[in-house]
Structure formats: C-alpha cells, structure tokens
Amino acid sequence: MRSHIKQLAHIGYQVSDLERSLNFYRPLGFSLKTRFAKPSPGGQIEVAFIELAGVVLELYQLPQGTRFDTPRCGIDHIALEVDDLAAVAARLEELGYPLDEGPVRESSPWSSVSFLLIRGPDGERLEFDQTAL
C-alpha cells in the first residue's frame, strides 16, 4: 500500500459555523482554495478547502439540525511547523487568539521542539512547532 500513497491530501474538520471558522483561519494565513455546497438528504452541506504551506483543511458544515460530532474520532490536534515560534506567539496575541497550552520546550536525545497550541471556534486544537537545531 505504501507505494500507492503519495502524500496527505487534506484533513477534514466538521465545523458548526463555516463562516466563523473561515474568519478564524484566514488571519493565520490560510487561503480559500474552493468553497461549495453539496446536497444531502438532510439539506445542503457547506464545504470549504483552505490551504497554508501545503497543509489543506477541509472545513464542512452539516445541514441545520444535524448533530455536531464532538469526539471527532479521537483527533486531538494538527501541528504546523514554523520557523519562529516567538513571532507566531506575538501574531496570535495581536489577533486575540488565547493560548491553550505553551509555549513548551521538550527535548529528547533525538530532537528538541518548542510548541504552543490554540483552539479553533469548535474546540479543535492547532499546534505550532519549532524544531531546535
């Protein structure tokens, strides 16, 4: 199977309010690649694909009245590698995005990383990592 997989295509997040989520991710640098609605038995599913540095998120809002899936199949967070964690932290503060965790520095014999996490509008966690040389 490994020989058939080229790369990660995207990460899908169910969101409760697509417009609110887009307004959260755009200031972080994500740009809208495509947005559309598709029919379902319960009504329209609103979908937006956004991208930042090759990371593609599919944000989708189910029809009104559809139960929001809180557990999200165990996905705790996604992590984005950055080159200047202090600058990222400063920008998040400017945007008014509170830190959920960190900054934290963790070291092991094989690596050292500093990171911080924020939460999106629906509780999804977004981690920013800077690997130390």
Pairing mode of beta strands 31-40, 77-81: unpaired
If pLDDT is split at 50, 70 and 90, which confidence band does 132 have? confident
- Domains of the chain (ranges; CATH) run 1-65 (3.10.180.10), 75-133 (3.10.180.10)
What does pLDDT average to over the chain? 88
pLDDT of residue 121: 93
Distance CA(98)–CA(102), nearest Å, equals 11
pLDDT of residue 71: 59
pLDDT of residue 70: 62
pLDDT of residue 33: 96
pLDDT of residue 72: 55
Q: Which of 97, 99, 129, 94 is nearest to 113 (CA)?
A: 129
If pLDDT is split at 50, 70 and 90, which confidence band does 67 have? confident
If pLDDT is split at 50, 70 and 90, which confidence band does 74 have? low
Given a contact cutoff of 8 angstroms between Cβ atoms, the answer to whether 126 and 30 are in contact is no
Give the number of other Cβ atoms within 10 Å of residue 34's Cβ: 10
pTM given for the model = 0.77
pLDDT of residue 69: 67
Q: Is the dihedral of CA 18, 23, 27, 32 positive or negative?
A: positive
Distance CA(73)–CA(66), nearest Å, equals 17
pLDDT tens digits along 38-57: 888 889 999 999 999 999 99
pLDDT of residue 57: 94
